[in-house]
Chain A
Amino acid sequence: MSESQRRVRMGTVSLFALVMIISLSVMAALSAATAKASEAQTDTQAVFLTDTYANESAAQSAVAVIDAQLAACAQTGEGAAGGASALAERAARAAQDAGYAAAAEGPYVAMDFAAASGRQLHVELEIRADYTYQITQWKAATHWNQADANGNASGL
Chain B
Amino acid sequence: MALLPQSSSDAVSRGAARAVFPRRSAAFLVEMVVLVAFLAASAAVLTGVFGGAAALGERSDQLSVALTLASTGAENGAESFAADPTAPSPETTYYEQREGSLVQVEQAGEDAFAVTRTVSAQPAEAGVLYRAVIVVSKHGEDVYTLETARYVSERGGV
In the complex, the answer to whether B64 meets A53 with C-beta atoms within 8 Å is no
Q: Which residues of A contact B124 (CB under 8 A)?
A: 64, 67-68
- Interface check A145, CB cutoff 8 A: no
In the complex, the answer to whether B57 meets A67 with C-beta atoms within 8 Å is no
For A, the interface residue count at a CB cutoff of 8 angstroms equals 46
Known: A35-B53, A50-B146. A71 touches B60 (CB 8 A): no
Q: Which residues of A contact B126 (CB under 8 A)?
A: 64, 67-68, 70-71
Q: Mark B101-117, 1 if CB is under 8 A from A, else 0.
A: 00000000000000000
Nearest chain-A residue to B148 (Cβ)? A53
- Interface check B82, CB cutoff 8 A: yes
| Chain A contact surface mostly | helix
Q: A10: shortest Cβ distance to chain B, in Å?
A: 8
Known: A46-B63, A46-B144, A71-B126. A32 touches B157 (CB 8 A): no
In the complex, the answer to whether B151 meets A43 with C-beta atoms within 8 Å is no
For B, the interface residue count at a CB cutoff of 8 angstroms equals 45
Q: Which residues of A contact B50 (CB under 8 A)?
A: 28, 31
Known: A8-B27, A53-B147. A35 touches B56 (CB 8 A): yes
Where the two chains meet, the residues of A that have a C-beta atom closer than 8 Å to any C-beta of B are 1, 5, 8, 10-11, 13-14, 17, 21, 24-25, 28-29, 31-32, 34-36, 38-39, 41-43, 45-46, 49-50, 53-54, 56-57, 60-61, 63-64, 67-68, 70-72, 74, 131-135
Task: Using A28-B46, A67-B155 as known contacts, list a sample of 16 further A-B pairs with CB atoms less than 8 Å apart, ordered by residue number in A.
Answer: A1-B16, A13-B35, A24-B42, A28-B49, A35-B54, A35-B57, A39-B60, A46-B63, A54-B147, A57-B147, A60-B149, A67-B153, A70-B126, A71-B126, A72-B125, A74-B155
